[in-house]
Structure 1
Amino acid sequence: MRLNLLFITLLLTVHIQAQTQQTTPNINFAKTSHRVNLSLWKNIATQPTDTTSATAFNLGIYSSMNRLDGLSVNILSSVVGRNMNGMQIAGLSNMNGGSMTGLQIAGICNVNGNNLTGVSVAGLVSLTGNEARGLLASSIANIAGENSAGLVIGGLMNICGENAAGVHLGGITNIAGGNFRGVALAGLLGVAGGSVNGVQISGLGNITAEDLHGIQVSALLNVTGKEMTGLQLSPVNMAIRAKGLQIGLVNYYKENLDGFQLGLVNANPNTRIQPMIFGGTATKFNAGVRFKNNLYYTILGAGTHYLDLNDKFSASFFYRAGIELPLYKQLFISGDLGYQHIETFRNKDYGYPARLYALQARVNLEYRFNKRIGVFLTGGYGGSRYYNKGVTYDKGIIVEGGVVLLSFK
């Protein structure tokens, strides 16, 4: 109660002094424009809101000022019509029509119509109409209309309308409408409408509309709309032009500048997609696709009846990687190593393992009749093992033979 009476008394005293000064004809207010403002509400304050005055110190519940050059502390909100230079602290929101230089802290949001230079910490959202430089932190989003640079931490997202630079940490996504320079870490998605010079790391995927000069890492997908120079690391990597390294399950680029791919399936302008049909002793009937890149190739496929033909249905899925060399005219020799996953389905009820895996090595001879079709004969060795214990189920020599279609691209 005493504090309330003291605050009201101080407010009335300063207000009476201000009225006294206004009735004094010899005072030059241009020389005393920085004042102290005590405010209960927007229009209940010791300093009127006009187009010339500036506030050096503000204390209140809800305050409205022309310009702030100093400290403002409010229980609810602070509104500054022009620029703010100094420190703004409010329980709910801070809003500036011009630029902010200094420190802003608000329970819900900070809004700046023009530029931000310094530190902005908001419980929910920090919004800047033009450039933001410094530290921005909020639990939902940091939004800059044009450029942003510095450390930006958003609980859900960071959005910059044009270019962005620095370190951006987003719980869900980082979005830059133009170029990005620095490090962008997002829980799900990183997007740049221009080029990226630096690092993009996201839980789900990264998308760069133009060039990438740096590193993209994600748990699912990396896409570069133009030239990739550096490293793409994810299950699926895509670029128009590659001048770097792609590591993933599926790698693709349309034009090779000086790129290298390391993955299960590598696709580029030199890749030939060649269907294969064959039979053998490992699995009786098989179909696969060979992805051929000059000397190197990989094969993905599936087969049926790993067990004997008179048993119930069993199947396998296999992957192989190898090298092919010309032997004589239309005769080629190749060698590969393979991994095979085996499912026995209902055969497990008859004493067979539910699933197995096999490691295999093969040497292949292939004869090509023309550019459309060829035949091959394979000899190799492999063994299948249990997943849940280090015991071999069976092992032996592998013999296979079949047809490959060569004209697909």
Structure 2
Amino acid sequence: MKRKLIALVLLILPLNMLFAQGSSKHPLNISLWDPVALSPCDSMSTTNATFGFSSKTYKLKGVGINLFAHFNEKAVNGFTLNGAGEFLKGNMTGAEISGLFNVVSGHMHGLQIATVQNTNVLHSKGVMLAGITNFTIGDAQGVQIAGITNMAGSHFSGVQLSSAVNIASSSSDLFQMAGLVNVCAEPINGIQISLGNYAGGVNGIQLGLLNLCGGDVRGVQIGIINHSKDTSAVKIGLVNISPRTRIQLLAFGGNTTKINTAVRFKNHHTYSILGIGTHYLGLNDRFSGSLFYRAGAELPLTKKLSLSSDAGFSHIENFNNEDLTTPERMYSLQLRLNIEYHPLNRLGIFASGGYAHTRYYKAHRIYENKPVIELGIVLF
């Protein structure tokens, strides 16, 4: 009997010494809702593990698992798992996983996972995964992956991936990939891939349908429309615009479409043209038209006279007016040689001659091959 009593005392004594160190140590907390808890939160407490429906701790060094939420006043160093959210007034080091929100008012170093949103107020470093939005106010470094939007209000270095929008105020090293738009207000050193991209400057690559750069490009822009304030930038696209690009309006008619309007983007001795034409001749009396793109080069002969040549693609739309010999839509590959005269700086006239090869989209048949003749004016 004495031996059993001595053994029981030896077991209780270490636990008693642990709790006797003062109110600063709360190894275990079971909480329904603060202050209904085994170890209510106080300004001197450090908790090693907290479990319950909703709990509040001052400092957590260990594990926190709550069906609803966890609230922390000072700091968390460890792992937390919450059904709804994690709300920290202080710093977080470790991993936090929540069903809805993670909010850290201090510094965040580690991993954040939330189905709705992760928010960090001060400096953050690590990985943020959110079903909808990741949002950092202070400087951030690491990886942001969101279902819809990533936003960095200050300097961000790392990777942003989302289905819709990535936004960074500034960055040194950045990789952005989004389904719709990437934005960095200041110059970046890195890569942007999206339908639309904007950066204050680019030392790297912009890849998208629309690429805009507010400064210099030390790299390449690849897209349908590329714009920069750097005249020496490398642009690969259908329309390339720089400060020296001259944007002109063309109005002309010809033996393929009766009335045509187009915009020409002229860069030194090269140019591209985007336009629309109505009533494609030879189809029928009902409405038809075409959308076309041309790219070419110009050779000045005198100050007012020049020769140019271009190749183009034209989509021909007959809408619902097809018949046995005329399909609903076709395409045409065209080559032209042009002569242009400018009696005034902002007014010119031109004549074009060339050849068009027109085919069906579906039948893989030739609709027609014929010469092309056009006459028109140039404005601006």
Give the TM-score of the pair, scaled to structure 2: 0.88
Distance 1:375 1:44 in 2: 87
| Kept in 2: contact 1:196–1:208 (CA 8 A) | no
Distance 1:48 1:364 in 2: 86
Change beyond 3 A, Cα 1:37–1:341:
closer
1:60 corresponds to = none
Structure 1 window deviating more from structure 2 (93-102 vs 195-204): it is: 195-204
Distance 1:355 1:31 in 2: 84
* Cα-to-partner distance string for 1:209-262 (whole Å, 9 max, x where unaligned): 22222111112x2122x2222222222222211313222222222x21641222
Distance 1:285 1:309 in 2: 15
Select 1:162's aligned residue among 119, 130, 138: 138
Select 1:71's aligned residue among 27, 36, 49: 49
Distance 1:38 1:259 in 2: 62
1:9 corresponds to = none
Secondary structure of 2:322 counterpart: helix
Select 1:375's aligned residue among 317, 340, 349: 349
Counterpart of 2:57 in structure 1: which amino acid?
V
1:189 corresponds to = 165
Report the alpha carbon displacement of residue 269 of structure 1 after superposing the two structures with TM: 0.7
Percent identity of the aligned residues? 38
Distance 2:224 2:180 in 1: 15
Structure 1 window deviating more from structure 2 (379-388 vs 37-46): it is: 37-46
2:151 corresponds to = 175
Give the TM-score of the pair, scaled to structure 1: 0.82
Select 1:119's aligned residue among 90, 95, 111: 95
Report the alpha carbon displacement of residue 305 of structure 1 after superposing the two structures with TM: 2.5
Q: How does 1:266-281 map to 2 (within 5 A)?
A: 266-281=240-255
| Kept in 1: contact 2:82–2:98 (CA 8 A) | yes
Segments of structure 2 that go 5 or more residues without pairing to the other structure are 1-11
Secondary structure of 1:98 counterpart: strand
Change beyond 3 A, Cα 1:285–1:181:
same
| Kept in 1: contact 2:116–2:132 (CA 8 A) | yes
Change beyond 3 A, Cα 1:186–1:310:
closer
| Kept in 2: contact 1:36–1:47 (CA 8 A) | no
Change beyond 3 A, Cα 1:49–1:151:
closer
| Kept in 2: contact 1:228–1:241 (CA 8 A) | yes
Q: How does 1:296-335 map to 2 (within 5 A)?
A: 296-308=270-282, 311-335=285-309
| Kept in 1: contact 2:359–2:367 (CA 8 A) | yes
Counterpart of 2:111 in structure 1: which amino acid?
L
Segments of structure 1 that go 5 or more residues without pairing to the other structure are 1-16, 53-65
1:399 corresponds to = 373
2:85 corresponds to = 109
Change beyond 3 A, Cα 1:105–1:252:
same
For the pair 1:292 / 2:270, whether they are aligned, the reply is no
Distance 1:195 1:40 in 2: 43
Structure 1 window deviating more from structure 2 (229-238 vs 325-334): it is: 325-334
For the pair 1:34 / 2:25, whether they are aligned, the reply is yes
| Kept in 2: contact 1:312–1:346 (CA 8 A) | no
Change beyond 3 A, Cα 1:183–1:297:
same
Distance 2:333 2:29 in 1: 80
* Cα-to-partner distance string for 1:44-64 (whole Å, 9 max, x where unaligned): 665565444xxxxxxxxxxxx
Kindly tell me the number of residue pairs found equivalent between the two proteins.
366
| Kept in 1: contact 2:231–2:242 (CA 8 A) | no
* Cα-to-partner distance string for 1:101-120 (whole Å, 9 max, x where unaligned): 11111111111111111111
2:225 corresponds to = 250
Distance 1:35 1:312 in 2: 85
For the pair 1:140 / 2:119, whether they are aligned, the reply is no
